[in-house]
Each structure stands twice: as structure tokens, then as C-alpha cells.
Structure 1
């Protein structure tokens, strides 16, 4: 039983860190990027992710509220964050043109 308790403690810590990452990431994004990406508003996501963080801090992982918070954090991380990075140009850190694809420049079928 001790092994399960240790596993759940590690899972709870991971959930807290994941929620904190998503919350602080939402705070440092520009507000107009949320509207440009058509992904609700910055205050909406900041409140939802803050609530997910608070719930993950105070409730055990096996109750349903931290699971709902985890779903919100996953939605932000998988859907909203990439859309914001695309709008703000945060995804392109290396050089290249706007016609570059994932495997190099797009030459238009030539």
C-alpha cells in the first residue's frame, strides 16, 4: 500500500506543477492574442487555470474536481497554447521564411 501512496503523491505533485505551468503561461501571454486566436479571453483562461491549480493543491487526486482541472489544463496546453504561439509568432525560434514547412522550404510542387 505504501507504493501506491508514493505513486499518488508523485502524481499529485506532477498535477500541481502542470497546473502551475499552464496558469503562469496564460498570465504571460498577450490579451489580444487570445482574441486573435479565437480562444476565449485571457481573464477566462487565467481564472480557470488558477482554479485548477487551487483545486489540485487542496483536494486529493482521486476526487473529481482535480480531474476536471486536469482536463482544463490539458485543453489549454494542447489547444489554446499552440494557437497563441502561432498568432504571436512564438513557435518560430529558428530562421526561415513563412513558406517553410516542417521539413524545409515549400517550393510549390516544382
Structure 2
């Protein structure tokens, strides 16, 4: 069974609580990005002049997997950071463009 070891709630452990919150938020971001990429039409990715839908599913899925598998302060922290960057690029660059393409021009 998976057990989570939480640090004691004390000002001395504030840095660990911040990292725990950051990791949790990053995981939610990853799951949201993968779910969003999964529900979009493949033609929207081509119309937005971005990579294909399978490519973004692989990127966001791999990034989310890295966020689940590795920790920010662990031995594989570089993979965690790479996963976070991949998910963030989708959310900041690709997702707004897909929404704009599917919504149409706004007056």
C-alpha cells in the first residue's frame, strides 16, 4: 500500500510543505493537460499549426507520468522538471490556441 509521509506542521518545515503543495498542483496540472488533449479534435491541432494530437498526448502523458513517478527533491528531479515543463508548455501555448481555433473569431 502506498503511504505518504507528511512533514510535521511547523514553521521549521515550511519548505517541505511548499514543495508538497507544488508537487500536488503540478500533478493536477498534468492530469488536466492530458485530459484536455484527449478530448480535443485532431483537426484542431492541425488548424492551430501545432504538433499532432498523438504527439501532444504522448508529451502530456509522459510529462504526467514523470510527475507521478519522480519527486522534486529526489534522484530523478530532472525528469520531474522536464515533465512539469512539458505540461506547462501545453497549458500555456497549445491549449489557448486550440480554444481560439475551435471558438472562432471573436468580435
Instruction: Please indicate the TM-score interval, normalised by the length of the shorter structure.
Output: 0.7 to 0.9
* Aligned counterparts of 2:106 and 2:69: Cα–Cα separation in 1: 47
C-alpha distance in 2, partners of 1:55/1:71? 11
1:53, 1:33 → 2: CA distance?
22
| Aligned pairs, number | 93
Larger radius of gyration: 1
Q: Per-residue displacement from partner, 1:39-95 (whole Å, max 9, x unpaired)?
A: 000010011101111111110113111111111111111111111111111xx7xxx
Who is 1:34 aligned against?
45
Structure 1 unaligned regions, length at least 5: 93-97, 101-110
TM-score by length of 1: 0.77
- Quick check: 2:64–2:87 contact (8 Å CA) kept in 1? no
Q: Does 1:70 align with 2:84?
A: yes
Instruction: Give structure 1 regions of 4+ aligned residues with deviation exceeding 4 angstroms.
Output: none
Unaligned runs of 5+ residues in structure 2 are: 1-11
Q: 2:56 matched to 1:45?
A: yes
1:1-110 counterparts in 2 under 5 A? 1-62=12-73, 63-89=77-103, 98=105, 100=107
In the TM superposition, what is the alpha-carbon distance from 1:99 to its structure 2 partner? 6.2
1:53 aligned counterpart, secondary structure: helix
- Superposition RMSD on alpha carbons, in Å? 1.5
Partner of 1:95: none
